[in-house]
Structure 1
């Protein structure tokens, strides 16, 4: 019997399904200490704001701790200031025993913060998708991976915050949709990142005149067409050219990555194309979507964000992590 079980385990190891962990994490303003480049005033290095070698190192170590607990194969990152900051984070992770050989940042546009990714898996290409030529919109990072012979496209997003109306997020959604139509809806595609949109934004924002300048239409629900599939992944009925928001595949109480004034929100999302639900090639593993809700990431029922004082001159306290929680999903390939 033992010999038989050993053979089964060996077969599963050599020929069975393999898993791929994919995550997204808004790390909240990871700025480097270089003088060059546009920065928010509280992140000007070596000033009275206390953003210096000590606090920068603490920030890097804290974010690295979170990423190590996730241990994703590919992790999308939002609010990375520069390639220098991304490399410093990668080096800190390596010091802590987690090595990402491959990386990319979308830094062609001179905005204060950018999207990026770290990967254990080599990519075929990675390039920036320009939303517009203005600085109001951050570029989207498009990449293609080859996973065991299967093509996988990943788009890292950071849409306009809710300081702006929904029409601004729709601009990003349309640019993304146009590019996807060129690739083909029949491909394995993952859209993830900080969309600054709830998975049911179309319901939440409807009565907010400040946000709803689009007659009830939203980027995440209407442009990306996530509005039809609201059931668990195992019960999803194929909808051509639609994306499925993985938040529907966990209990409603767990669908959040952000807490604002005590209210849970799902600003960070992972959306998948229909082929990733068909259990062929690469496919989403049912019930695997989750946030990382470790105790150390909370303080007094709030997400334990990076601490900056509210004094006349804001000062970094050298404590905390980010105002967002990471979001994680697992995929199977065979």
Structure 2
């Protein structure tokens, strides 16, 4: 079973209602039109087909309509996700979503705060051959904000994990806007460290020491040079993560396949030494060029289903 996470970078629909960034105002001088929307859908479809996951968490999807259009494009190209869900309880510009080949037992939306500055977290529960599996799709505050904002999201997530049960099969994934060793790397960045050295991903989710209620960050299973999903000013960063509960490290009903974590680093996803993101001009009126994919790389891991 392959599970993945992918920040698709601003997949906006063409509906005129709903909050949008100015460059995604439909049929305006920015050229966000049918032609460019179709190219964006085709390009993201190509990537998701290459990922070929059974379950994929998506970030930066504008609406249920954008998610349905992507799902239809995938189906036309031979990859069918029968089950899907997007956060829809808060009118933020972008949302998290799931596409799945497995049916949902339930879906639940976790509100971090009522502020639009925080995106809701999406929880799904699956039952695969008699084994329950809980997944949480995240998109935490970007580095434009301090660590205290990411801790706010982490605390809501941790509280819900404790309600579900730390001993259960749990996967936390998405764009955490945090490195797997954020607690080390962010100390040099004073504008981020407003928490006395504490981080959401490492301290609240407990990824530093491996104990009973800790989560294991799968990036530690990859070679250090391959631990990245984003490139900022020439520097590789691991903003997208997959964290698993201790039960998934054991050879039980569902277990992580050791050393299977990786990014999707196909050549077409790069332009020179940068990730080939969706291209929008930097003119006074930004214009879509109809080229590129996303500013993030997908992250993928495999799990084994041990059935009797």
**Deviation per CA, 1:33-70, whole angstroms, max 9, x where unpaired?**
00000000000000100000000000000000000001
Partner of 2:221: 249
Residue 243 (structure 2) pairs with residue 262 (structure 1): no
SS in 1 for 2:281: coil
Residue 192 (structure 2) pairs with residue 220 (structure 1): no
Residue 293 (structure 2) pairs with residue 321 (structure 1): yes
**Deviation per CA, 1:81-104, whole angstroms, max 9, x where unpaired?**
000000000000011111110000
Over the aligned positions, Cα root-mean-square deviation in angstroms equals 0.5
Partner of 1:286: 258
- Among 150, 160, 169, the alignment partner of 1:169 is 150
Cα distance in 1 between the residues matched to 2:269 and 2:188? 32
**Deviation per CA, 1:145-172, whole angstroms, max 9, x where unpaired?**
0011000000000000000000000000
Cα distance in 1 between the residues matched to 2:14 and 2:186? 38
SS in 1 for 2:145: coil
Partner of 1:4: none
TM-score normalised over the length of structure 1: 0.91
Q: How does 1:18-33 map to 2 (within 5 A)?
A: 20-33=1-14
**Which entry has the higher C-alpha Rg, 1 or 2?**
1
TM-score normalised over the length of structure 2: 0.99
Residue 31 (structure 2) pairs with residue 59 (structure 1): no
Partner of 2:280: 308
Cα distance in 1 between the residues matched to 2:48 and 2:26? 25
Partner of 1:131: 112
Gaps of 5+ in 2: none
Cα distance in 2 between the residues matched to 1:190 and 1:223? 15
Q: How does 1:166-205 map to 2 (within 5 A)?
A: 166-205=147-186
Q: How many residues align?
A: 306
Shift of residue 77, structure 1, vs aligned partner: 0.1
Cα distance in 2 between the residues matched to 1:227 and 1:140? 23
Q: How does 1:42-53 map to 2 (within 5 A)?
A: 42-53=23-34
Cα distance in 1 between the residues matched to 2:5 and 2:302? 12
Cα distance in 1 between the residues matched to 2:273 and 2:253? 41
**Deviation per CA, 1:288-311, whole angstroms, max 9, x where unpaired?**
000000000000110000000000
Shift of residue 208, structure 1, vs aligned partner: 1.1
Partner of 2:82: 101
Residue 122 (structure 2) pairs with residue 150 (structure 1): no
Shift of residue 115, structure 1, vs aligned partner: 0.1
Residue 60 (structure 2) pairs with residue 88 (structure 1): no
Cα distance in 2 between the residues matched to 1:207 and 1:56? 40
**Deviation per CA, 1:244-288, whole angstroms, max 9, x where unpaired?**
000000100000000001100000000000000011110000010
Partner of 1:9: none
Cα distance in 2 between the residues matched to 1:207 and 1:160? 19
SS in 1 for 2:167: coil
SS in 1 for 2:291: coil
Gaps of 5+ in 1: 1-19, 230-238
Shift of residue 136, structure 1, vs aligned partner: 1.3
Residue 92 (structure 2) pairs with residue 111 (structure 1): yes
